[in-house]
Structures are given as C-alpha cells and as structure tokens.
Amino acid sequence: MAGVAVIGKGAITVKLDIRIGHGFDVHAFAKGRKLILGGVEVPYEMGLAGHSDADVLIHALCDALLGAAGMNDIGHHFPDSDMQYKDADSTLLLVHVMGLLREKGWGVGNVDITLMAQAPKLASYIGNMRARMAGLLQLEQDAVNIKATTTEKLGFVGRKEGIACEAVALIAKL
C-alpha cells in the first residue's frame, strides 16, 4: 500500500509509492583473499571470508534493496549452500537484484551506505566505490553516498577482525 502525503491544508493529496529498506552485513577477515568493497579491490593484507567474494558493501546494499521491495533477503536469493555462488562476484548479485526490482516495477531513488572498518583506511577508495555503485544502480553519483568510519577500536571491527556495513535504500514505483 502506498503512503499518502497531504501538502498544505489538505488542498493537495499526493500518492507516494516509495519505500525504504535497510541492510546490514558483516564479514571476518581471512588470509589469502582479495579485499573487495563496493566492487573495488582495496589493497590490504587480508580479504573477507565468505561464500562469494564477501563484498560486505554490496551484500548490505542488496539486503536494503530487497527489503524495501518486500522480497526477502540476499541469503534467500543467493544461498551459501548453492555452489554456483562460490567465490561469485557480488556485482553480479547486485545486477540480478536490480533486475528483480525492475520486474516488480521499482526503481532506485538513492542509497546511503556506511562501512565500519578500523583497517584498512578507506577514504581514498570511496570515490571509485561510488562510481562503481552508481553505474550498477544506474544512478547519478550524487544519489550514491558511501562513507567509512572506525569503531574507535571497540568491538570486532575495532580489533581489526572484520568489516561491517549498513545500507539504506529508497525505492519508488516507476
């Protein structure tokens, strides 16, 4: 059901068919793997453990998009028990999710993503991640916001045991 917004003193009623979704993912560091974030390889001594390429940013984003559309989560669509997704490039998973949204008549308005990593420092890679995500989502770069923060040396992220990511997505009926 669409939301209804009343503007002014009830003179104009606008039917808004928009939804917000939230995604969260976390992966532990693992030796012998590449670190891929937002479809971009980030030089680091370790990558992330996972069934696919463990791109924590894309996994959180897929969950946000799927959640907004009421279409379950990434594990439902790409189970880690399915060997076709072993070491899969997560950008391909995002392309598939975008196709599912389009089939249901949804388009993406904007996304806001927060990476949580004590290490490595990610600031110099954010621009490339934004460009890559904008291309995959078919959005202008200013509709894709990616930021990185530390956890001030607290928790598993602060101990440099892994990386976490949260994503929020706004979708609208086309």
Q: State yes or no: 81 annotated in a binding site.
A: yes
Q: State yes or no: 55 annotated in a binding site.
A: no
Q: State yes or no: 151 annotated in a binding site.
A: yes
Q: State yes or no: 149 annotated in a binding site.
A: yes
Q: State yes or no: 79 annotated in a binding site.
A: yes
Q: State yes or no: 77 annotated in a binding site.
A: no
Q: State yes or no: 63 annotated in a binding site.
A: no
Q: State yes or no: 59 annotated in a binding site.
A: yes
Q: State yes or no: 156 annotated in a binding site.
A: yes
Write out the chain in H/E/C secondary structure.
CCEEEEECCCCEEEEECEEEEEEEEEEEEECCCCCEECCEECCCCCEECCCCCCCHHHHHHHHHHHHHCCCCCHHHHCCCCCHHHCCCCHHHHHHHHHHHHHHCCEEEEEEEEEEECCCCCCHHHHHHHHHHHHHHHCCCHHHEEEEEECCCCCHHHHCCCEEEEEEEEEEEEC
Q: State yes or no: 82 annotated in a binding site.
A: yes
Tokens of 45: 């001594």
Q: State yes or no: 114 annotated in a binding site.
A: no
For residue 157, list its beta bridge partners: none
Q: State yes or no: 25 annotated in a binding site.
A: yes
* Residues in binding site for a divalent metal cation: 25, 27, 59
* Residues in binding site: 25-27, 51-52, 59, 73-75, 78-82, 149-152, 156, 159
